[in-house]
Amino acid sequence: MPQNDERPVSTSSGEDQGSDVESSSERCDSMTSTSDLDCTRESFTSDCSSKHCTPSSSPPKTITLDEVMESTRDLFNLSLGHEITVNPNLRFEPHSPPQGSLFKVVRDTLHKAYWDILESELNDDPPEYEHAIKLLEEIKEILLSFLNPGANRMRTQIMEVLDIDLIRQQADNDAVDIQGLASYIINTMGKMCAPVRDEEIKNLRESTDNTVTLFREIFRVLDLMKADVVNFKIDQMRTVMQKEGVEYERATFQRILDSTPDGLNKTTSWIKSTIEELQSAAILTEPTEGQGKGQPAVLGPFQILNTAFLRILTWDYNKNILPETLATDEARFQEIQVQLQKCQAVNEVLLIVYNTVGGPIQGLASLSDRLKRMTTVLLDGMHRPNFNPQEALEGVSSQICCELNKSLTERSYPPLTPALQGTLKGQITNITRKDNPIRILVEDRVQQYFMMLINDPKPQTKLEHVPAGLAIIKHELMLLAEKFLSLVNYNKTVYGPFYASIIRKLIFSNSPPAKNPSQDTPRDTVASK
């Protein structure tokens, strides 16, 4: 925490505006150095590459407790460093347990008992200062922790004024000036705090509360200042991490692999299953030139990796753990999947409505928006285990029929007949079936949209090219695609060498690689594609 003239800017928490990462993947592209790309290309066709770009794994060995602890620290640092880099809204807040929770009740009870004891001791005749001195000692340590290494004058002043040995001697002679010490502490906090806490400090200075209540408020503001210190340091680290984050994350992950030889097992299985899936699909289609009937297709490494990332959109988190290289973004990938599934369901419902009712409701933007908002709200929480999709869709269809009848009546059209309402409700509730043609159509076109963007070297120019039938959710789809592409491109930049090594081993394990095994253009790389 800077002090004096180096006060940090406000670190109050800001709302997440719907994006944990930068909306554009260009930031990720800028982090990819030419040497990284060259090494990645080389790693597909050669067993020789530099230590910098080639991930390694240690031979089986006995792992000591110290190594396990070191690996755990590396994993924590990797997660924290990644979060600082990709999440501009990352902020630390003092822990506040939920109202009415057992933890909060117990904590508040213990705190009240402590402050009651302190008040009782200070009101004794003569006063007892033991608990008060412990509080002053804790405050002293907190204030010292806020200082920069070069703030020697203020450090000396704090040590002199809050000299605990001297205060104990004063307490023995009933000569402790508690109010004077509290005033000094508040003034010192005012010199150290961020501007956002100025109002809190002002309130402390003007407080007319008794000594115990004043000290409770001092500790409350100190907790806020601790959070400010952490957030200020996070902001400082973010500037560094955005420049060096790729190298830091890659090196940290390599250290984890060095102590965990099987640390890429799930990543390898993920890529291997993708290769098998692509080969099976290719065998079912017409063989390409030079490929015999029934022979495995020759797959490009970027085709494999892009298809593997596309599978993350439909990943079953209840049955499978994400690959190790994606673990730091698991919550973000999961949130994208949840939002995408809801968007798809909304699109399916409204496609059915417009195809069933037809002309009388075509071209009414306000009605379309109302139906979309209403359906979105009623389908909220569809990812939760206790969500009943059939029941929710029945509610959606009933609300939609009411809204349609209201709109038709206002414009002098006859309301929907009972038969048409029954048909509409039946079709809407039927989208819970996986073989529903509307559901298959929407899901396939969403997959096509994301695959088009993943494969494109400049996806930002294609974001608006939403396939036919998805216009209803175009805005939401574009936002989700931006988030997904940003995560994917940054992940490729960091872990590209690891993916290259895995794919090379899987493809060429039984035969030497050809000179140009990839069907991709020379400009494509795992880190930038």
Are residues 268 and 207 located together in one domain of the fold? Answer: no
Expressed in percent and rounded to 5, the helix, strand and coil fractions of the chain are 65, 0, 35
Are residues 368 and 472 located together in one domain of the fold? Answer: yes
Tokens of 179: 């109010």
Q: Is residue 331 part of a domain?
A: yes
The answer to whether 44 and 506 have CB atoms below 8 angstroms apart is: no
Are residues 270 and 400 located together in one domain of the fold? Answer: yes
Higher pLDDT, 262 or 374: 374
Tokens of 471: 């216009």
Q: What is the pLDDT of residue 281?
A: 80
- Per DSSP, 24 falls in state -
- DSSP track, 294-326: TSPP---HHHHHHHHHHHGGG--TTT-PPPGGG
Are residues 194 and 312 located together in one domain of the fold? Answer: no
The answer to whether 395 and 429 have CB atoms below 8 angstroms apart is: no
Tokens of 30: 């800028």
Q: Is residue 444 part of a domain?
A: yes
Are residues 400 and 273 located together in one domain of the fold? Answer: yes
Q: Is residue 277 part of a domain?
A: yes
Q: Give the distance, in angstroms, between the CA of residue 205 and the centroid of all CA atoms in the same chain.
A: 40
Per-residue H/E/C for 419-477: HHHHHHHHHHHHHHCCCCHHHHHHHHHHHHHHHHHHHCCCHHHHCCCCCCCCHHHHHHH
CA separation for the pair 515, 513 (Å, rounded): 7
Q: Is the peptide bond before 512 cis (omega within 30 degrees of 0)?
A: no
For 329-365, how does the pLDDT look when each residue is reduced to its tens digit (9 = 90+)?
Answer: 999 999 999 999 999 999 999 999 998 888 888 888 8
Q: pLDDT category, 12, cuts 50, 70, 90?
A: very low
Tokens of 25: 């993947």
Are residues 271 and 395 located together in one domain of the fold? Answer: yes
Are residues 405 and 481 located together in one domain of the fold? Answer: yes
Q: Is residue 201 part of a domain?
A: yes
Q: pLDDT category, 71, cuts 50, 70, 90?
A: low
pLDDT at 269 over 90: yes
Are residues 139 and 206 located together in one domain of the fold? Answer: yes
Element (H, E) at 249: helix 211-259
Most confident listed range (94-103, 118-127, 216-225): 216-225
Q: Is residue 321 part of a domain?
A: yes
User: Which candidate, 333, 307, 256, 345, places its Cα nearest to that of 451?
Assistant: 307
Q: Is residue 354 part of a domain?
A: yes
Are residues 343 and 196 located together in one domain of the fold? Answer: no
For 414-471, how does the pLDDT look when each residue is reduced to its tens digit (9 = 90+)?
Answer: 998 999 999 999 999 999 999 999 999 999 999 999 999 999 988 888 899 999 999 9
Are residues 193 and 271 located together in one domain of the fold? Answer: no
- Per DSSP, 359 falls in state G
Are residues 106 and 153 located together in one domain of the fold? Answer: yes
Are residues 266 and 150 located together in one domain of the fold? Answer: no
User: Whole domain around residue 318: which residue ranges?
Assistant: 262-282+299-509
Tokens of 477: 């789809």
Q: Total structural domains in the chain?
A: 2
Q: Is residue 115 part of a domain?
A: yes
Poorest-pLDDT segment among 85-99, 112-126, 172-186, 382-396: 85-99
User: pTM here?
Assistant: 0.65
pLDDT (average), residues 372-390: 89
Q: Is residue 40 part of a domain?
A: no
pLDDT at 2 over 70: no
